Amino acid sequence: MLNFPVPYADELIYSLVARAGAHMGFTSPKQVLEEVFGNRHVIATVDLPNHLENLLRLFPKGLGFSVEKLAYEHTLFPLYAPFTTELRRKQCLERMASNSQGTIHLVLGVAASRVKQSRYLRYCPLCLQRQLREKGEYYWLRQWQIAGADCCLEHGQLIEANIERHAYHRHQFFLASPSVCPMLPQKPGNPSAIKIARQVYRLLQLCPNGAASFAQWTAYYRQLAGMGDCLAGHNVRHEAVRERVFGRWPTFWLESHGLAIFDTENNWLHSIFRKHRKSFSCLEHIVVLDAFLPDTWRIDEVLAEVSSIRASLNMPVTKPLISNESVTEQQANIRAQWQALIRRKSVKQARSENGALYAKLYRHDREWLLSTNQLFYLTAIRKNRRVDWRQRDMTTCRQLIKIRNAQKSLLDSPRWSRNWYLSKLGKSAIVEKNIHKMPLTSLFFKRFCEDISDYQIRRITKALSCLDTEDIHRWRLLRNAGLSDERLTDDARVLLHKMVGD
């Protein structure tokens, strides 16, 4: 693809691809995907896109772009990279280079995060006007699309555009334009949003660097609790922690951003001061750090401090049962006790019955324990008999037939694909995952789902019924049907030729 645009500072990859399509005059979203990525199935992802290697071939080599540079300067990856493990950070960069099939959002915990993204793309009207003056066009900045950072530090509160993040047209990259970004008046920025935005902007400017380990984060938060007088001996005083957070952040703001703090032991605020076994979002870190640190604190300085910690989880150091490769008599006796126990009972039951023995082996002879337990795990697969799949199959098939009968006379409905039929069912995920147990439903899909040719023929038929029979031209028929010669299938082309000729 010639004359592919160069990204502006902090411009999203999403915005770059949208501008490329507009510069080339492409009207079909699939044509944009074909020209830019060489793949017509790429999903238009705002925050963590993939297929970045395909973009690299479109830039001059002298610009020095790499997958890592694109990820850190033109996506929201810097908001997640410092708070995950180093192994996952590298894995995500590899997956962003190619086709990740949505795994990046799973690995980084975005899909299951309590902090939800805005439903719509957001913008700052005054920033857009400046872009138009200086660059001659609008483009999406990445700092506008971050949950919690709901304002522009320079101009005020961000405004939602007329574009949904996860719209029905998931393959289309929407351009920032006056039609979707009207020049509306802005309110002043909320104080909480301003605090978040300041720290988020610093995260976005971070250079690629290794991530701190969970052990280092655990040690840092223990030090933080001590600095804030929230330790009682070796235990964190979680009530005192909660009071500090409530003293800095309004309750309604926390709740509106998915960070409500309930009076239970398994809330996120308790977890962040315990041993870290998973990553937390940047918003959760910023909320806690701001409650403990001076007003002048910086997230980049905190990250440097965490990475410098020589972490030890303060776990009790115990002397191993053996000091060399040979097995002592004491260790042999302990192993024999455990083996006798798991021959009579399952590993889980043995652990519940003699937790002290299990703990002793886990601390001093872990490799042998785990390898031995593997030999005694139950391998039988339990069949789920709670669902009568034959009855479920018949019921589902009847529902699908009713859906088809209600739609078959409507020439202007969407393509009757398998996904379309599933979307009309109440529990589509259950049907899709267990379709191998439902032969009637499978047969229905094979027989009645439309392929592209069927759909195009139906659109042509609909367009024909709306035109005056004395004024039928090929170009007019194609335009009314929303088709083009380039996208016509062979069957649809044959039908069109029979109707109106060449």
Do 105 and 56 lie in one domain? The reply is yes
- Residue 453: pLDDT over 90: no
> Which pLDDT score is estimated for 155?
93
Same domain? For 411 and 366 the reply is no
pTM of the model: 0.62
Give whichever of 80-94, 95-109, 161-175 has the largest mean pLDDT.
80-94
Task: Answer yes or no: do 22 and 132 share one domain.
Answer: yes
- What CA–CA distance (Å, rounded) separates 299 from 301? 5
pLDDT of res. 24 = 87
Residues 123 and 272 in one domain: no
Q: Domain for residue 63, yes or no? A: yes
Looking at the domain assignment, is residue 4 inside a domain?
Answer: no
In 57-124, which residue ranges form alpha helices assigned H by DSSP? 67-74, 86-97, 103-107
My answer on whether 276 and 300 are in the same domain is yes
Same structural domain, 92 and 161 = yes
- What integer pLDDT is reported at residue 116 of this predicted model? 84
Question: Per-residue pLDDT averaged across 367-379, rounded?
Answer: 76
Q: Does residue 477 sit within a domain?
A: yes
Q: What is the pLDDT of residues 120-145, one digit of tens each?
A: 999 999 999 999 999 999 999 999 99
pLDDT above 50 for 317: no
Distance of CA 159 to the CA centre of its chain: 23
Is 2 domain-assigned?
no
Write down the mean pLDDT value for the chain: 85
Predicted pLDDT at 384: 60
Is the model's pLDDT at 12 over the cut of 90? yes
Residue 204 is assigned to a structural domain of this protein? no
Residues 406 and 487 in one domain: no
Do 124 and 152 form a contact (C-beta atoms < 8 A)? yes
Q: Which two tokens stand for residue 376?
A: 């005694």
Kindly state the average pLDDT of the residues 344-358. Answer: 83
Per residue in 178-232, pLDDT (tens digit) is 999 999 999 999 999 999 999 999 999 998 888 999 999 999 999 898 888 888 8
Residue 102 corresponds to which tokens in the numbers above? Answer: 């949505």
Give me the mean pLDDT over the 48-62 stretch.
89
CA distance 369 to 371: 6
The pLDDT of residue 132 is: 94
CA angle 321, 324, 327 (to 5 degrees): 60
Is residue 121 assigned to a domain?
yes
Number of Cβ within a 10 Å radius of residue 242 = 17
Of the pLDDT bands very low, low, confident and very high (cuts 50, 70, 90), residue 320 is very low
Structural domain harbouring 283: 212-308
| Reported confidence tier of residue 323, pLDDT bands at 50, 70, 90 | very low
| Whether residue 140 sits in one domain with residue 280 | no
Give the number of domains in the chain: 5
Residues 365-375 have a mean pLDDT of 83
Q: Is residue 443 part of a domain?
A: yes
Q: Are 477 and 354 in the same domain?
A: no
- Planar angle of CA 234, 240, 242, nearest 5 degrees: 120
Do residues 109 and 216 share a domain?
no
18 and 135 inside one domain: yes
Query: Is the domain of 100 the same as that of 163?
Result: yes
Residue 17 has pLDDT above 90, yes or no: yes
pLDDT band at 318, cuts 50/70/90?
very low
Q: Which of 201, 106, 144 is nearest to 15 (CA)?
A: 144
Higher pLDDT among residues 379 and 196, named by residue: 196
